[in-house]
Amino acid sequence: MILTLQGIVLLSTVVITILSAVLAFFLTLKYIKLKSKNYLFWSLGLWLFTVGVVLEVLFAFGLYSEVMIDSYLTIVALLVEALALGSVQFLGKTVKKIYYIYAIITTVAMISSFFFVRVGNIIANYVVFGLLPLLTTVMSSIITFPAAAIIIVSAYLTIRRSRAYTDKNVRRHKNLQMSSIIAGVVVVSIAGTLYIAAYPELLYWSEFFGILLLWLGFI
């Protein structure tokens, strides 16, 4: 049986939803067990990712509203910020304090921006596709780019610290974990920009491979 375009989009988004929800669940259990803030924010990021993909499923069914697309664009940005809030726990207290304040300000600014612009219908052929208002693009960028930088720097420093492990197998495992997390977060971070760059079909591929890499890193 040959799947239609709508069928392909629905199948891919449902699979991604299941993968992200299960990973978010496991990270939540780790937070409950360890009471560690990094797992709290990482699990929050994955739950936001899951909600975002659920919205993509609804879009694929032809459901759409201004509130839905505003929520989707906000979630795409905030999930990266939540992952960064988890990673920033491994950095110094001053950096954490500054980023906490920055995250609050940019989150409020992102949500407030939708009172000044109307995104309109950017769904084409069941996928998110289309140019965003300049204000929305700017607000999304000032959240995602610094967040991605925080995650990469934190992961890099963690890899460097792993050299302290005398057991080569442990050190190799830590390096592979962090490398997977770096790659996964970068892929997930750029996923939301692919439809803007006129590559909507890559949005779902990047989400799929991004969540698989995060699985390898976190589990």
Per-residue pLDDT tens for 54-101?
998 898 888 888 899 899 989 988 988 998 999 899 888 999 999 999
Per-residue pLDDT band for 166 (boundaries 50, 70, 90) equals low
Q: What is the pLDDT of residue 3?
A: 61
Measured in degrees and rounded to the nearest 5, phi and psi for residue 62 equal 95, 5
* pLDDT attached to residue 101: 97
Report pLDDT for 63.
87
**How does residue 28 score in pLDDT terms, banded at 50, 70 and 90?**
very high
Q: Is the dihedral of CA 153, 158, 159, 160 positive or negative?
A: positive
Q: How confident is the model at residue 202 (pLDDT cuts 50, 70, 90)?
A: low
- Give me the domains of the chain, ranges plus CATH numbers: 5-218 (1.20.1070.10)
Res 189: pLDDT: 66
SS (H, E, C) 7-46: HHHHHHHHHHHHHHHHHHHHHHHHHHHHCCHHHHHHHHHH
pLDDT at 198 over 60: no
Say whether pLDDT at 2 is over 80: no
Distance between CA 78 and CA 15 in Å, rounded? 22
